[in-house]
Amino acid sequence: MLDQIIEEAGNDNHKPAFVKIPKQWLPGFIRWPIKLFLLPFIWLDVLAQAIAKALIRPPFKKVGACKKRGNCCHYILIKKSKGFSDKLDLFWHTQINGFYRRDKALHEVDGMKIHLMGCRHLKKDGTCGIYHFRPMICRMWPRIEYFGQPQILKGCGFRAEKR
């Protein structure tokens, strides 16, 4: 089912199904200091990864540009963790990152259980409402790693090319 959703989302005229977005119950005066505290660590992580990739190049490189279709923010795939850590993950993604569950169902991709989420910060013009404060998961997308195939959604303005 998730494959079908993602496949359809890749079509140019795709409109995501309406989802009633639940309110975040964690107040902003708690959420934002946590985000600000973590920001330098996110920058350091991004910098370390950029240096590592400059020194040892992955087999693929990212080319192209964002088309601002918003699909990577409408369809965020979060791997389900085991036991209580899944509850913590869900808390983190929904209350700190600002994501919401598009449905309560668990989806399956390559044998993994997946939560399908959207993001409250996506603006109508397809841009990010908290660009400079966006979470790590957003900064790392599309995923082009050393091993495995690059992960890019169908219809995305980016593509992966072999070096």
Residues that bind ligand SF4 (CB under 6 A): 73, 76, 119, 121-122, 128, 130, 134, 138
DSSP codes of every residue in the chain: -HHHHHHHHTSTT--PPP--PPPP-S-HHHHHHHHHHHHHHHHHHHHHHHHHHHHS--SEEEEE------HHHHSEEEE--STHHHHHHHHIIIIIS-EEEEEEEEEEETTEEEEEEEETTB-TTS-BTTGGG--HHHHTPSB--SSS--B--TT-SEEEEE-
The distance of closest approach from Cβ of residue 73 to ligand SF4 in the complex, given in angstroms and rounded to an integer, is 3
Minimal distance in Å, beta carbon 56 to ligand SF4? 27
> At its nearest, how many Å lie between ligand SF4 and the CB of residue 34?
15
Pick the closer one to ligand SF4 by CB: 76 or 153: 76
- Of residues 15 and 82, the one with the C-beta less far from ligand SF4: 15
Complex with ligand SF4: residue 60 or 71, whichever CB lies closer = 71
Shortest distance, position 122 Cβ to ligand SF4, whole Å: 4
CB of 31 to ligand SF4, least distance (A): 13
Measured at the CA of 64, the angle between CA 60 and CA 67, to 5 degrees, comes to 130
- Which residue number, 2 or 66, has a Cβ lying nearer to ligand SF4? 66
59 vs 66, beta carbon nearer ligand SF4: 66
